């Protein structure tokens, strides 16, 4: 560069207007996806927290283990994929006595959608429950967050999964979490009484058994005396 000439501010690698436009669009798409991904990782409730009891009762999940998944709207491609994935696993969920409930708001309801799938669908009026537990929206607020919870019989959250793009994974991961839930009391008793309970039962019954034996011996002694 000759003395007195100004340094060029051109790109290091020359590109046409079309190429520069495509590069800018690519950067925008990548940046948006990264932002949405970060937002989707911000979940509402955490493992160990209690799901709203009123909502569980209203949706028929009070006192039973359940999968509660929030989605956007009936008939949308990703939401349909999610509902189908849960329906394909309903035999497994039923075998575990785990109820599956899909939740959307009134605007997301489409006629006859719920009839196609073997699970329960409910309406979250005005996104009341969604907002109360703090499920974040995706795509700058354009879409409701796609979030799945697994709760035990006490309503305690044991698993949370949030992913707007991997709709089919919600059912797979929820089933794994459901399989890890403790068995119902009846099943636990069917497997045998724990040794600790056996010891407690023996401790309680021992005095009663001894008392019955003492009465029997006394009655026998009285009968012998009468014969003499």
Q: What is the predicted pLDDT for the residue at 38?
A: 43
Reply yes or no on whether the pLDDT at 22 is more than 80.
Answer: no
Of 16 and 103, the structure prediction assigns the larger pLDDT to 103
Q: Which of 35-39, 46-50, 106-110, 200-204 has the lowest mean pLDDT?
A: 35-39
Among the options 15, 20, 61, 79, which is catalytic? 79
Of 6 and 84, the structure prediction assigns the larger pLDDT to 84
Q: What is the predicted pLDDT for the residue at 127?
A: 92
In the block, tokens 């006394």 appear at 218
Reply yes or no on whether the pLDDT at 191 is more than 80.
Answer: no
The secondary structure element, H or E, covering residue 159 is strand 157-162
| Helices and strands per DSSP (H, E), number in the chain | 8, 5
Reply yes or no on whether the pLDDT at 34 is more than 70.
Answer: no
Reply yes or no on whether the pLDDT at 107 is more than 80.
Answer: yes
Q: What is the predicted pLDDT for the residue at 184?
A: 74
Q: Which of 3-12, 35-44, 138-147, 161-170 has the highest average model confidence (pLDDT)?
A: 161-170
Of 204 and 152, the structure prediction assigns the larger pLDDT to 152
Q: Count of CB atoms within 10 A of residue 177's CB?
A: 20
| φ, ψ dihedrals at 77, nearest 5° | -55, -50
61 classed as catalytic = no
What's the rounded mean pLDDT across residues 93-115? 94
End-to-end CA distance of the chain: 139
Residue 123: strand pairing partners: 104
Contacts of 177 (CB under 8 A, 6+ apart): 150, 158, 159
Kindly provide the residue ranges of all beta strands, DSSP E only, lying in 57-125, ordered along the sequence: 66-70, 99-104, 120-123
């Amino acid at each position: 560069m000759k003395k007195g000439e100004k340094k060029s501010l051109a790109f290091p690698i020359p590109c046409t207007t079309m190429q520069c436009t495509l590069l800018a669009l690519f950067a925008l798409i990548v940046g948006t996806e990264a932002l949405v991904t970060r937002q989707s990782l911000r979940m509402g409730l955490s493992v160990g927290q209690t799901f709203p009891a009123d909502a569980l009762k209203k949706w028929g999940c009070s006192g039973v283990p359940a999968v509660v998944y929030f989605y956007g709207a009936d008939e949308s491609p990703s939401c349909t994929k999610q509902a189908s994935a849960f329906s394909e696993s309903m035999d497994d969920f039923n075998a575990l006595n785990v109820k599956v409930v899909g939740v959307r708001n009134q605007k997301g309801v489409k006629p006859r959608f719920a009839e196609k799938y073997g699970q329960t669908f409910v309406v979250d009026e005005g996104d009341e429950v969604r907002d109360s537990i703090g499920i974040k929206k995706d795509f700058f607020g354009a879409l409701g967050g796609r979030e799945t919870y697994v709760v035990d019989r006490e309503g305690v959250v044991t698993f949370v999964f949030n992913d707007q793009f991997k709709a089919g994974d919600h059912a797979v991961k929820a089933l794994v979490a459901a399989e890890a839930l403790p068995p119902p009391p009846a099943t636990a008793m069917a497997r045998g009484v724990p040794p600790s309970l056996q010891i407690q039962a023996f401790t309680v019954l021992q005095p009663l058994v001894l008392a019955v034996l003492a009465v029997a011996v006394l009655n026998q002694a009285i009968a012998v005396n009468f014969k003499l």
